[in-house]
C-alpha cells in the first residue's frame, strides 16, 4: 500500500500539526525525528536499540547503498527491511544531497550528475531515472525524487535554473517509478527566494506526490533564513500530505520548524556528535571530554529515560570517550537520538494542549541559559 497521512490537529496560534503516518511497516505519530542509517545501519546501534529509543522511522542513503553493497544485492536479500533486520518504516533519500556535497558544478547537467566514486574513483552518472530505479529495488516505504540541492549563497538566476531542473527530474522520476508498495515524495527547492519557493512548491504539487519535502536548507545559511525558507514553502503544500524538512536536526530547529508546519526531520548530527564526545542535555550541549566530568558521577540527564542515562555516569562516559572505546560513542548515540525523539514527543503533547509557544520559550531559557557550548 501507499503511505496514508492523517492530519489530527492543527494548533490554533501556530502552523504546528499533529498527525499519523501509516506505512506497510507500521504507523507512527508526527512530528517525528528520523535517525539516519546511511549505509543500512545507524552508526554503532542495533535495531533493538533504535526501537528502545522509540524510533518511528529511519532513513537510508541511496547513493551509498548503490555503490555498496548494490541495489541488486539488497533486492536479493528481500529489500532493505529484511537486509538490515528493521521491521519499521524506512525512507530513502535520492542521492541528491551528494550533488551538493560531492559533485563539481560543471558535472551537473539536465541529464543527471557525474560523480567519481568515493570508494574507487570510478566514473558514475546518476540520473533521476536511475535514482528511482535504485530506490524501487531497495523497497523502502518512502522514496525521494532526485533533486539538485543548491548551496548558500547562490545567485537567483542559478537557483531559478536549478529549480526548473529539479522539476524536470521530478517528472522524469515519477514516470519510471514502478514499485506499488512504495510512496514517492517531491522536493521543494528555491533557495532563499520567496517567489522561487512559491513557484517550486506550486509546481511540484501539480505533478502530484504522496508527500512533500523541503530541501535546500541547512546548507550554510543562518538559522533565521532557514526558517524563512520553510515559511516560503509550507503555505503552498497540501494539508493532507506529510511534510519533511531534509537534513535538519538541531534541537531548536526542530522546534521552530514544527511551529512552521513541518512533520518529519532527519539529521546525522546526534550520532556524529556522539562520536566526538558531545551530548545533548536539557541545559545545553556538553563535551563529555571536559576535565570537569572526570569525577562527575551523576547521569547525563535526570530527565532522560534512555538506557545510557539510567545506567552510566558522566565520569564513565568521559573515560570511554577519552580512551577511544566504541562503547562511549554507542552510549552517547543512544542518548542523543532519544533526546531528539523525546523533543518531538513533547512537541506532540504541546500541540495537543495548545502550549507549543510556551514550550519553545521554556526550552530556550533552559537550553541556552546556562554556561554551555550551545550558547
What residues are annotated to the active site?
93, 266
Contact 158, 198 (CB under 8 A): no
The dihedral over CA atoms of 331, 289, 319, 308, expressed in degrees to the nearest 10, equals -20
Bridge partners of residue 142, in order along the sequence: 91, 183
Residues 39-42: contacts with CB under 8 Å, at least 24 apart = 39/64, 39/65, 39/68, 40/65, 40/74, 40/80, 40/83, 40/84, 41/84, 42/271, 42/333, 42/337
The dihedral over CA atoms of 364, 12, 343, 60, expressed in degrees to the nearest 10, equals -120
What are the angstrom distances between the C-alpha of 357 and each of 196, 254, 282, 303, 363? 29, 13, 17, 21, 10
Q: How many CA atoms lie within 13 A of 313 on its CB side?
A: 10
- Report how far residue 16's alpha carbon sits from residue 98's, in angstroms, rounded to the nearest whole number: 30
- Report how far residue 258's alpha carbon sits from residue 17's, in angstroms, rounded to the nearest whole number: 7
Handedness of CA 169, 170, 174, 175 (dihedral sign): negative
- Other Cβ atoms less than 10 A from the Cβ of 182: the count is 24
What are the angstrom distances between the C-alpha of 346 and each of 94, 270, 304, 338? 30, 18, 12, 12
Task: Give 106: exposed, middle or buried? Use CB within 10 Å, 0-12, 13-18, 19+.
Answer: exposed
What are the angstrom distances between the C-alpha of 283 and each of 96, 252, 370? 35, 12, 6
Q: HEC string of 237-280?
A: CCCCCCEEECCCCCHHHHHHHHHCCCCEEEECHHHHHHHCCEEC
Grid coordinates in use for 33?
A: 525525528
First to last CA, the chain: 45
Amino acid at each position: 500500500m501507499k503511505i496514508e497521512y492523517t492530519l489530527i490537529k492543527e494548533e490554533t496560534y501556530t502552523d504546528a500539526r499533529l498527525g499519523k503516518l501509516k506505512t506497510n511497516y507500521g504507523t507512527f505519530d508526527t512530528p517525528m525525528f528520523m535517525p539516519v542509517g546511511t549505509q543500512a545501519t545507524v552508526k554503532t546501534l542495533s535495531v533493538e536499540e533504535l526501537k528502545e529509543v522509540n524510533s518511528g522511522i529511519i532513513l537510508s542513503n541511496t547513493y551509498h547503498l548503490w555503490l555498496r553493497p548494490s541495489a541488486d544485492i539488497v533486492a536479493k536479500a528481500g529489500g532493505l527491511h529484511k537486509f538490515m533486520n528493521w521491521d519499521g518504516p524506512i525512507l530513502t533519500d535520492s542521492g541528491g544531497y551528494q550533488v551538493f556535497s560531492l559533485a563539481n558544478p560543471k558535472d551537473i547537467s539536465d541529464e543527471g550528475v557525474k560523480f567519481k566514486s568515493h570508494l574507487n574513483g570510478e566514473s558514475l552518472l546518476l540520473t533521476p531515472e536511475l535514482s528511482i530505479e535504485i530506490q524501487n529495488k531497495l523497497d523502502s516505504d518512502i522514496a525521494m525524487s532526485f533533486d539538485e540541492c543548491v548551496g548558500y549563497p547562490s545567485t537567483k538566476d542559478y537557483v531559478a535554473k536549478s529549480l526548473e531542473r529539479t522539476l524536470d527530474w521530478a517528472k522524469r522520476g515519477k514516470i519510471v517509478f514502478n514499485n506499488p508498495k512504495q510512496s514517492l515524495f517531491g522536493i521543494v527547492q528555491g533557495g532563499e527566494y520567496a517567489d522561487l519557493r512559491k513557484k517550486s512548491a506550486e509546481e511540484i504539487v501539480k505533478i502530484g506526490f504522496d508527500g512533500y519535502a523541503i530541501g535546500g536548507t541547512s546548507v550554510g545559511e543562518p538559522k533565521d533564513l532557514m526558517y524563512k525558507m520553510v515559511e516560503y514553502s509550507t503555505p503552498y503544500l497540501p494539508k493532507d500530505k506529510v511534510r519533511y524538512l531534509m537534513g535538519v536536526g538541531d534541537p531548536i530547529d526542530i522546534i521552530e520548524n514544527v511551529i512552521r508546519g513541518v512533520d518529519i526531520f532527519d539529521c546525522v548530527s546526534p550520532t556524529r556528535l556522539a562520536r566526538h564526545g558531545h551530548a545533548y542535555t536539557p541545559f545545553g550541549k556538553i563535551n563529555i571530554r571536559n576535565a570537569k566530568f572526570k569525577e562527575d558521577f551523576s547521569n547525563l540527564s535526570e530527565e532522560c529515560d534512555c538506557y545510557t542515562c539510567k545506567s552510566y555516569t558522566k565520569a564513565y562516559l568521559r573515560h570511554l570517550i577519552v580512551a577511544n572505546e566504541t562503547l562511549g560513542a554507542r552510549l552517547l548515540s543512544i542518548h542523543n537520538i532519544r533526546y531528539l525523539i523525546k523533543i518531538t514527543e513533547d512537541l506532540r503533547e504541546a500541540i495537543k494542549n495548545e502550549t507549543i509557544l510556551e514550550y519553545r520559550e521554556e526550552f530556550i531559557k533552559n537550553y541556552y541559559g546556562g554556561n554551555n557550548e550551545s550558547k
